[in-house]
Structure 1
Amino acid sequence: MDTIVSYLVLYFVIWACIYLLTSNLRSRKSAARLPPGPYSFPIIGNLHQVGQNPHQSYAKLSKTYGPLMSLKLGSKATVLVSSANVAREVLQKYDQMFSGRSATGAAHTLDHHKVSMVWLPVSSQWRNLRKMCKENIFATQRLDTSQGLRQEKLQELRDYLHRSSVSRKAVNVGDAAFTTSLNLISRTLFSKDFADYDSDSSQELQEIVWGVMKNVGAFNLSDYFPVLRVIDPQGIMRDAKFYFQKLFDIFDDIINERLQVRGASETKKNDLLEALLDHSIKNEFEFGSNDLKHLLLDLFVAGADTTSTTVEWAMAELLRSPDKFAKARAELKEIIGQEEVVQESDISRLPYLQAVIKETFRLHPAAPLLVPHKANEDVEINGYIVPKNTQVLINAWASGRDPTTWSDPEIFEPERFLDRDIDARGQHFELIPFGAGRRICPGLPLAYRMVHLMLAAFIHNIDWKLEEGMKPEDLDMDEKFGLSVPKALPLEAIPVKL
C-alpha cells in the first residue's frame, strides 16, 4: 500500500510539473485574448474562490471582472457568462459553436455520458433522441391525452393537504411537492405510483433522486485534476454508481414486468413506456434497452426534482410575502371559482400565477448554472477569445439578479412580469431556467404544466400558518447546491382549509 501511495504521489508531482510548464506556454499565447478574470494560482487555479455555492461565488466575481469572465479551475479552463446579453451571444448567435457538453465525472457513471440526451454532444444519436422525445413524450397532443393522469395525482395532493389541515399537522412542502412530482412522472411514464405521502418509500426515492442530482452536480476534485479519478478522493464516483444502479434496478423490474404483460396480452397501456418500448423494438439498433434505461433516468430525475424544487421555493417566497400569497389565491378564486379545480387549459387565464412562477424562476432557477456547455471551436465574443474545449457555464442565477436588467433584483415582486412580455421558454435571455437554443431542456412543455398546476393546488382555497409563531420574515432561504438547488432547510407549515 505504501508503494502504491508513493507512486501516486510521484505521478501527481510529475503531472503537476508538466501542467505548470504547458499552462505557462499556453497562457503566454492566449492570455491577452481571454476574457478577464482573477489571478489563478499554480495547479489549483481559482478553485479556492468557488465556495459551497459556486453560482453565488461566480456572481460576486462577475461584479469585478464582468459578465464574460475566465477562470482556471484546476486543469479545466472555464468561462462564466453572467448577463442576458452575453447569454444571447452564446446560446443564440453562436449556439452551434457552444453546443458541446462538459460532462462531470459523475455523469460518466455506468457510461451515462455516452447515451444520455443531456450529456451527448450534438450528433445523429443525440438528434434521434431529441426527435423521439419531441414526438413520443412531449408532443402537445400526447400531453393533452395524459392530463387526466396528472389531475388524479393533483387531487391526491389536495386530499393530503385537506387531511393535514384537519389534523393541524405541519406539511413538509418540499416532500409533498416531490411525492406529487414523482407520481406525476411515474404515472406518465409507467402508469403506476412510486410513493405515498409521509411514506418511507417516498423518502427513499427522494434520497435516490437527490443522490443522483447531488453527485452529478457536486464539486468533485477529480473533475479538475483527472489524475485523481483513479482514487476518487471524495467518494463521489462511488456514491454516484450506487444511486444510478438503484434507479436502474427499479427500471429493470418495471421493464421486465411490462414485457411479460405484453407477451401474454395484446392489450397495451397508454403511457410513455409503452411508446418507448414500441420505438425500441422497431429501432433496436438505434435505441436498445440500455438506451431506454438511461433516457428514463434523465426524464425521471430531472422531472421529479426540478419541479418540486421550484414549487418549494415559490411557496417559501409567498409565505414570506402574505400580500402576494393573498393576491395569487384571490385570482384563483375569481377565475376558477371556489369549488372547481385548475385545469391545464386554465394556466393562460391566470396571469398572476404565471408571474409568481416566473419570479421564482428568476430568483431560484432550479439549475442555477444550467448544464455545462463546451466550446466546439475557438469563438470570439465581445473582442475576447473563448478557446476550443473550454467549459462554459451560464449563470442563470446571476442573470436573474442583474441590477442592470431588474429593478430591486433581490426582492420577490411578481408584479414586475405583469407589464413585461417575458416568458421562460428560451426566447428571452433575462429568464432562461430551462436553457435556450438547441440544448434547451426538452421536458419544458411538461414541466411548465406541472409547476403551475402544483403551485395552484398548494394555494387554492388554502391558507398556511408557520409553526411555533414564526414570522414570515424569519423563514430561512439558504440553498443546498447540486445540479439543482433546493432549500437547505426544508419548508414546513400547517395548511388551513378555507
Structure 2
Amino acid sequence: MNELGRVTIAQMIMFLIPCPLLFFFFFFLTRNKSSKELPLPPGPYPWPIVGNLYQMGKNTHIRLAEMAQVYGPLMSLRLGQRILIVGSSPAAASEILKTHDRALSGGSVSVLLQGSAVHNMNLVFSTETSDEWRKIRNLYASKIFSSEAMESRADMRENKVMEMVKYIGSIGGENISIKDVMLVTATNIIGNTTLSMDLVDFEGNGIGAGIKGSVRRLSSLGAQQPLADKYPIFGRWDIQGWTKQVIHIIEQELGTIWDNILQTKRNGTNNNYIRRI
C-alpha cells in the first residue's frame, strides 16, 4: 500500500471514530426521560439539541402568537431539553390558572438555585406548593392584598401619588426620568403597605437607597436564562457565574437593606425619607 493510501485510511479512521460518540451524545440530550410520558400538545418540530430555540427570535410574544394560529391555543415547545407548554386562549388560561391551579401553582425556579439558601424560602423562589407556602400566600391575600386592606390604604396611595406630582412640578425645566420617579413611588407604596415606612426618596437617598439598582440587576439576570435551565446536564456547574451574582444581590445587597429596616423598626424609629414639597 502506498503512502497516499495509508494517509487516506488513517483520515477515514479518525473521522469514523468520533461518529458513534457524537451520535450517542445527541441521543442522550434529545431522548425522552420516560417512555410512559403522556402525549404532549401539538407544536412545531424541534431540532436536535436546540429544540425550538431557533424559532423564538427577538419578539418572542409575536412568534408565540403566530405559532398559536397554526398549532392551536395549547401547544408545546422544546427549549433545549426543557418542555414549555403555552396556553394562549381564555379557556386554556382558565384551565391553567383556575381549574388546575393547585397542581400548577409552583414557581419556575432556575436549576442552579434549587438547593441553594433561597430555594423554597419564599413565594418567589419556591417550586413547591407546600403547607408553609400556602400559609404565606394566604397571609398576603388576607392581610395585605384583600379588598378591605387595599381600601384602608387608599389614602396612603393617593398621598404618595400626590408627592410624586409635586416633586415633578418642583423640578421646573430640568430633565427628569419619569420611570425612576414612578419606581420610587411604587417602592414607597409597597414599603408603607408592608412596613409602614418610606424606603427611598426622589433623590435616591434613604434606608432603601440601593434597592432600585439591586432590583434592576436581579430582573436583568432573571431575563438571562442560564444554560443549565435549557440543558440540566450542566446544572452542577455555574458556567456563566449566574448563581453567584443572584445570591450576592439577594443575600448581600437586599439582605443588608432588610437588616437595616429591621434594625430601624426595632429601635422604634420611623423616619420619612420622602422629601415633602
Give the structure-2-normalised TM-score: 0.75
Please point out which of 152, 160, 171 is paired with 2:167. Answer: 160
Deviation at 1:187, TM superposition (A): 2.3
Is the alpha carbon distance of 1:94 and 1:231 closer, same or farther for their aligned partners in structure 2, counting shifts above 3 Å? Answer: closer
Structure-2 change in CA distance of 1:34 and 1:144 (3 Å): closer
User: What percentage of aligned pairs have identical amino acids?
Assistant: 27
What residue is the counterpart of 2:70 in the other structure?
64
Q: Secondary structure at the match of 2:102?
A: coil
234, 242, 255: which one aligns with 2:262:
255
Q: How does 1:178-197 map to 2 (within 5 A)?
A: 178-197=183-202
- CA–CA separation in structure 2 for the residues paired with 1:179 and 1:98: 33
Answer whether contact 2:53 2:80 (CA < 8 A) is retained.
yes
Question: By how many angstroms is 1:181 displaced?
Answer: 0.4
| Structure 1 stretch displaced more, 204-213 or 95-104 | 95-104
Structure 1 alignment gaps of length 5 or more: 1-12, 263-268, 270-498
- Corresponding residue of 2:232: 226
Show the counterpart of 1:23: 32
Residue 251 (structure 1) shift: 0.5
Q: Does residue 54 of structure 1 match 2:60?
A: yes
Q: 1:106 to 1:243 in 2, by over 3 A?
A: farther
* Counterpart residue number, 2:145: 138
Partner of 1:240: 246
Which residue, out of 87, 92, 100, partners 1:86?
92
Change in 2 beyond 3 A, CA 1:73/1:210: same
Indicate the residue corresponding to 2:120 in structure 1: 114
Q: 1:19 to 1:200 in 2, by over 3 A?
A: farther
Q: CA deviation at 1:204?
A: 4.1
Q: Tell me if structure 1 keeps the 8 A contact 2:112–2:236.
A: no
Q: Could you say what secondary structure the match of 1:96 adopts? A: helix
Rg (Cα) greater in structure: 2
Q: Identify if the C-alpha distance between structure 1 residues 41 and 90 changes in structure 2 by more than 3 Å, giving closer, same or farther.
A: same
Aligned residue-pair number: 247
Alignment of 1:333-372 (within 5 A): none
Is the alpha carbon distance of 1:106 and 1:17 closer, same or farther for their aligned partners in structure 2, counting shifts above 3 Å? closer
The change in CA–CA distance for 1:149 and 1:135 in structure 2 (over 3 A counts) is same
State the alpha-carbon separation in 1 of the partners of residues 107 and 225 from structure 2: 17
**1:43 aligned to 2:75?**
no
Gaps of 5+ in 2: 1-21, 271-277
Calculate the aligned-residue CA RMSD, in Å: 3.2
Give the deviation of 1:44 after TM superposition: 1.9
Shift in Å at residue 254 of structure 1? Answer: 1.4
Contact 2:73 2:89 in 1 (8 A): yes
Give 2:204's match in structure 1, choosing from 199, 205, 210: 199
1:102 aligns to 2:111 (yes or no): no
1:109–1:240 contact (8 Å) kept in structure 2:
no
| Kept after mapping to 1: 8 A contact 2:29/2:81 | no
Q: Which residue of 2 aligns with 1:175?
A: 180
Distance 1:24 1:152 in 2: 55
Change (3 A) 1:225 1:199: same
The TM-score, its normalising length taken from structure 1, stands at: 0.44
Distance in 1 between residues matched to 2:215 and 2:248, nearest whole Å:
11
* Deviation for aligned residue 1:53: 4.3
CA offset at residue 72 of structure 1? 1.2
Describe the superposition over 1:269-310 as per-residue Cα deviations: whole angstroms up to 9, x where unpaired. 8xxxxxxxxxxxxxxxxxxxxxxxxxxxxxxxxxxxxxxxxx
Does the 8 A contact of 2:75 with 2:87 survive in 1? Answer: yes
User: Aligned AA for 1:224?
Assistant: K
Deviation at 1:241, TM superposition (A): 1.5
State the distance in 1 between where 2:113 and 2:236 align: 16
Tell me the distance in 1 between the aligned counterparts of 2:32 and 2:112. 26
Query: What's the secondary structure of 1:114's corresponding residue?
Result: coil
